[in-house]
Amino acid sequence: MSRSMLQTTAVIMLLVVAVTGCATIEEYPKASIGALGGAAFGGLIAAAAGGGGAAIAGALIGGALLGGFAGNALDQRDKRLAAEAQPRALETAPSGKPVAWTNPDSGHTGTVTPVRTYQSGGTYCREFRSNVTIDGKPDKAYGTACRQPDGSWKVQG
Amino acid sequence: MMRGWSMSVTLACMLGVLVPSGGMLAQAAAPPDAKTWVQEHDKNGDGKLDREEFHQAVIESFFFRDTNKVGYLTINELRVVTPEERKALQRNGQLTLQEYLNALHRDFEAADTDRDGLLTVEEIEIYIRNAG
């Protein structure tokens, strides 16, 4: 690879980091970079399923985080189950208490755990951790979501 | 003594909200389980709550008490109204997170009798017991 190509690649990677603004970039670089594609994909699934605004918002939350998991090995049902668990966890679970999902078809499992709650400009936001186990291999990602006026939760960054 | 009583009730209210079995203090005939509550929020596992752990616990309690998620508490969301809360409510009918935090951090100071900046289960239990 030429020197100029390396420089271009480095600049692109820095821009991705700046756009995603993820504090865990060093620990989970793939998860951070994969987030944008996952978000778009999650919205697409919800729209295809005929979901309304709230359903799309929920799917965006799931998609944004799940897109970061290595290899994106979750199937459609996994993604739907995880996307349903996320707003439920954010709305109802105390910090440290996981909300679990299981797909009996694939055997994949996961949890969504709020880890910190705060207010930003009168809006509630919660940091959370999402764990999945795919074929016995655990993976995890971190995110922050803020509650929207319509009651949905939107992942930040 | 009146000052101590009012602060104890404030802390007890929060404990009532956060006890895992659920419910505000008004719902619970039994006193809040301080041990469970401390364990829930003791992030570093030292068996005590420092200021930051306590602060997070207060914010979280506010989040769950704010049932319609408008960012402030109203009289309907406060089944037990302490004097501090009543004062704030009388101003505009709302209790902001900052007012809630201020009241509960005053509780922290009053309950922390050895002034080490940490709340133990014993200190909380004594503080609540003295309120009775």
Residue A39 confidence (pLDDT) above 70: no
| Structure token digits, residue A93 | 């679970």
| Structure token digits, residue A9 | 């690649």
Q: Enumerate domains of chain B plus CATH numbers.
A: 2-131 (1.10.238)
Residues with Cβ < 8 Å from A94, sequence gap 6 or more? Answer: A114, B18, B20, B40, B60, B64
Residues with Cβ < 8 Å from B54, sequence gap 6 or more? Answer: B41, B104, B105, B108, B119
What integer pLDDT is reported at residue B73 of this predicted model?
85
CA B126 to chain centre: 15
Preferred mutation among A92, A117, A126, A129 to probe B, highest tally of B CBs within 10 A: A117
Q: Which residue has the higher pLDDT, B78 or A39?
A: B78
Q: Residue B71 corresponds to which amino acid?
A: G
Task: Write out chain A residues lying below 8 Å of B71, CB-based.
Answer: 119, 122-124
Rounded to whole angstroms, how far apart are CA atoms B119 and B53?
10
- CB-CB contact of B64 with B17 (8 Å): yes
- Strand pairing of B95-96 and B72-73? antiparallel
The conformation of residue A110, written as its DSSP 8-state character, comes to E
- What proportion of chain A, given as a percentage, has pLDDT over 90? 38
Strand partners, B72: B96
> Which residue of chain B comes nearest to A93, CA vs CA?
B64
Least confident of A81-85, A105-109, A139-143, B5-9: B5-9
| Residue contacts between A and B (CB atoms, under 8 Å) | 25
CA-to-CA separations, B93 to A41, A149, B73, B86, in angstroms, rounded: 44, 21, 9, 9
Strand partners, A129: A113, A142
The CA radius of gyration of chain A, in Å to the nearest whole number, is 16
When the pLDDT of each residue in chain B is averaged and rounded to a whole number, the result is 74
Residue A150 confidence (pLDDT) above 60: yes
- CB-CB contact of B88 with B74 (8 Å): no
Most confident of A66-70, A74-78, A125-129, A140-144: A125-129
Whether residue A95 and residue B18 make contact (CB cut-off 8 A), yes or no, is no
Cβ neighbourhood burial of B63 (10 Å; 0-12, 13-18, 19+):
buried
Residue B4 confidence (pLDDT) above 60: no
- CB-CB contact of A21 with A14 (8 Å): no
Task: Write out chain B residues lying below 8 Å of A116, CB-based.
Answer: 56
Strand partners, A110: A101, A132
Mean of pLDDT values over A91-112? 93
Shortest distance between the Cα of B1 and any Cα of chain A, in A, equals 33
When the pLDDT of each residue in chain A is averaged and rounded to a whole number, the result is 67
